[in-house]
Structure 1
């Protein structure tokens, strides 16, 4: 779930660095481990790669030292099975046509995969590259740029989102449409699953290399994506709002107030409140200077973050029957602490409504879901989970309900079902 931003201007006098910075800031939520920026001005290459957040490193002086009419930016999400010492993308390669750069967000399962071969195939015959990329197994988005062209590709299942936009004579590829909005760019189209887009000679063309069922990662709609993004034609905000409405339809509950777990549960909480007629109020204050808890790589870091990032608004909670809507429960660390905070603040009852099904299986392809034994829902019934986290009642949104809210396009949902489409594909072949 890292973030990608590729920018290619046909006017070689354009400096796209400021646009690249804006695009990466808009995608910061997709990865906080570090970032990489690579730009090209003719055959001159500029690189900046750092650990941490953009806001901790970037300043005007650094940006002024980077320039070019094309560039790729990358914000890194660190899976727990990865090493913190892995090289940061984008990578730079020398080709027959000069310097090039490439970045890939995903997990390639082919044992013999390497970037050198990928770059060589990109610069060979189009048909040969299409055959090669179809042979890659796994989940990926990639952006490649050299002096003549930009190429964007999305894996055959479309597990991660990617879209294309334009600003005057500059083409922009980004992981989410919210980055195009931040750059005041025009949205052109989503990169379809199993498709590549070639930007060259002043225009772009679309080439399909695979036809497989659509499998967008459902966690994009639940948690990962920014709510102001449109993914494969579906509004993330509206999908999350509908999740809250559907929760009430599936499990109507009497209460005095509805609150949301900040920040990813707030929209669904508003949908629940609207459907139920129960007032939505602010119940928990989040310290916005604390990073997202779920994507912290260790349990110790997650616990520490929860303890310092949340505080109750006691005046809104005292002697109230509270419905708390959360986006998901993975390990249970955050929700258990939130329930303690609410009850310490005087809440009479706390009813948890989760805008997704129970997480049953680990995942290493789309989002970092830990080993099964670390999942609170893996070997516990709903009642056992309820007892462990300490709430008065607990309900998970049905998988069918979630899919309905997200547009029924077909989804990657291994973490909810245990079905691994890549293992099934290996059996088919």
Structure 2
């Protein structure tokens, strides 16, 4: 039996602003544009120059930040977070930004990514007397900073960051400054912008467009930015860096209107669709994409083949995140509530269905069934990512290896399980070509190839590879 429906999910998105009188309002709009990166919880912490004040909760940005809640958030600097729970699980206490108060001042943290040595560091810190208030790996940094022997916060932060392994984009705010840090491999996207005299930082550039900010540049791997009333300074906390941006940001996670390392996400996905047309040409009548992240690739496939692109699948946008999961007997009906096949488009047609990935296989099988029930005579499935055979340790919820259908099944076996007439995954070489790259340097392909850019600690491996 195939595992339960569960698609890919990214851990979170972060947004920060320094030097703007409406910092909290800007952060609200920024987080709203990053809502696709996490829907389980959200928070904002602001600074008025003297104290830090925070509001957070489990729910969507529009649910938590009511007019009444925003009244408490006054200041010219702010950081915000939208969360999808991976490391540490859910719960109010794990919603970020995390806010800490001490005799020497306050500290707020917002984190995108996952630390592969979090457990090892926690054991070490607890043996030295630390008491953790959350189960999130984000809190590790706060303890490392406060236990550092350096007199100045900048050096405390640099020392603490040098001890972390894995993927992390951090926003660190005190009463008087904002620090921005990206791991030595740049696994997660993070960009710097400006709005007048204010600086803005976001996981994706689409947030800049929403708030009216101008993109300046991407944060560099191993870089620590310090923003305060004196302006912006850049320092390094890691000398040896090897860029390895997550390829799934282009394939699935980021919004089509975002740019990552100068590459537009929509354009990258269209190119993947065009490459699939070269690798998997079919005699078909209609091309359709699975909403929403696969639409760009489907358009690219249609353009390259000359087969008409049609909206053969419609997403129901009113099935909210509180939708009650159906019982075993009603599961198929539950899928139909979220996604519908357009009979007038696919009936009697040979359909090429473009999707971005197959993780556990259940959703693909049910979508193929929807198309065939609507009268499609053939359904050829083409996937704009290579087979996902290995877990991600850096903040993407691909769970344990045993739940990944491609980890122990061939393409033909997967095709049989999902009921497609054919199944083709883009090749690694084709994916890189679509990104304008001749090789894989500068990108993380761990979930496809099993080659990870960082050391993976034994306790982490034990969880992800459990049988």
Task: Give your verdict on TM over 0.5.
Answer: yes
Q: SS of 1:254's equivalent?
A: coil
Q: Which moved more, 1:183-192 or 1:125-134?
A: 125-134
Contact 2:145 2:156 in 1 (8 A): no
Contact 1:43 1:98 in 2 (8 A): no
Contact 2:359 2:398 in 1 (8 A): yes
Partner of residue 183, structure 2: 155
For residues 284 and 80 of structure 1, do their structure 2 counterparts lie closer, same or farther at Cα, with a shift above 3 Å needed?
farther
Return the alpha-carbon distance in structure 1 between the equivalents of residues 433 and 152 of structure 2. 42
Per-residue deviation, 1:55: 2.4
Equivalent residue runs for 1:383-402 within 5 Å: 383-402=412-431
Contact 1:43 1:99 in 2 (8 A): no
Partner of residue 374, structure 1: 403
**2:214 paired with 1:189:** no
Partner of residue 87, structure 1: 94
Partner of residue 197, structure 2: 169
Partner of residue 203, structure 1: 231
Q: SS of 2:216's equivalent?
A: strand
Per-residue deviation, 1:18: 1.0
Q: SS of 2:171's equivalent?
A: strand
Return the alpha-carbon distance in structure 1 between the equivalents of residues 151 and 319 of structure 2. 43
For residues 124 and 179 of structure 1, do their structure 2 counterparts lie closer, same or farther at Cα, with a shift above 3 Å needed?
same
Per-residue deviation, 1:120: 6.4
Tell me which of 296, 311, 333 is aligned to 1:282.
311
Return the alpha-carbon distance in structure 1 between the equivalents of residues 326 and 221 of structure 2. 33
1:112-137 deviation digits (Å, cap 9, x = unpaired): 25313225659726456434422321
Contact 2:86 2:395 in 1 (8 A): no
Return the alpha-carbon distance in structure 2 between the equivalents of residues 199 and 304 of structure 1. 52
Partner of residue 166, structure 2: 138
Return the alpha-carbon distance in structure 2 between the equivalents of residues 105 and 317 of structure 1. 40
For residues 98 and 84 of structure 1, do their structure 2 counterparts lie closer, same or farther at Cα, with a shift above 3 Å needed?
closer
Return the alpha-carbon distance in structure 1 between the equivalents of residues 35 and 306 of structure 2. 35
Tell me which of 352, 369, 379 is aligned to 1:340.
369
Tell me which of 10, 14, 24 is aligned to 1:4.
14
For residues 72 and 302 of structure 1, do their structure 2 counterparts lie closer, same or farther at Cα, with a shift above 3 Å needed?
farther
TM-score (norm 1): 0.91
**2:266 paired with 1:213:** no
Q: Which moved more, 1:248-257 or 1:343-352?
A: 248-257
Per-residue deviation, 1:90: 1.3
Equivalent residue runs for 1:10-29 within 5 Å: 14-29=21-36
Unaligned runs of 5+ in 2: 1-10, 123-139, 459-467
Per-residue deviation, 1:269: 0.2
For residues 179 and 387 of structure 1, do their structure 2 counterparts lie closer, same or farther at Cα, with a shift above 3 Å needed?
same
Tell me which of 105, 108, 124 is aligned to 1:101.
108
For residues 391 and 26 of structure 1, do their structure 2 counterparts lie closer, same or farther at Cα, with a shift above 3 Å needed?
same
Q: Which moved more, 1:300-309 or 1:189-198?
A: 300-309
Equivalent residue runs for 1:259-338 within 5 Å: 259-290=288-319, 306-338=335-367
Q: Which moved more, 1:14-23 or 1:76-85?
A: 76-85
Partner of residue 263, structure 2: 234
Partner of residue 129, structure 2: none
1:17-54 deviation digits (Å, cap 9, x = unpaired): 21011001011001011111111223233221111112
For residues 150 and 234 of structure 1, do their structure 2 counterparts lie closer, same or farther at Cα, with a shift above 3 Å needed?
same
Return the alpha-carbon distance in structure 2 between the equivalents of residues 68 and 105 of structure 1. 23
Contact 2:326 2:334 in 1 (8 A): no
Return the alpha-carbon distance in structure 1 between the equivalents of residues 326 and 454 of structure 2. 27
Unaligned runs of 5+ in 1: none
For residues 221 and 153 of structure 1, do their structure 2 counterparts lie closer, same or farther at Cα, with a shift above 3 Å needed?
same
RMSD: 2.7
Larger RCO, structure (CA 8 Å, separation 6 or more):
2
Per-residue deviation, 1:424: 6.9
Number of residue pairs matched? 421
Contact 1:180 1:187 in 2 (8 A): yes
TM-score (norm 2): 0.84
Q: Which moved more, 1:135-144 or 1:202-211?
A: 202-211
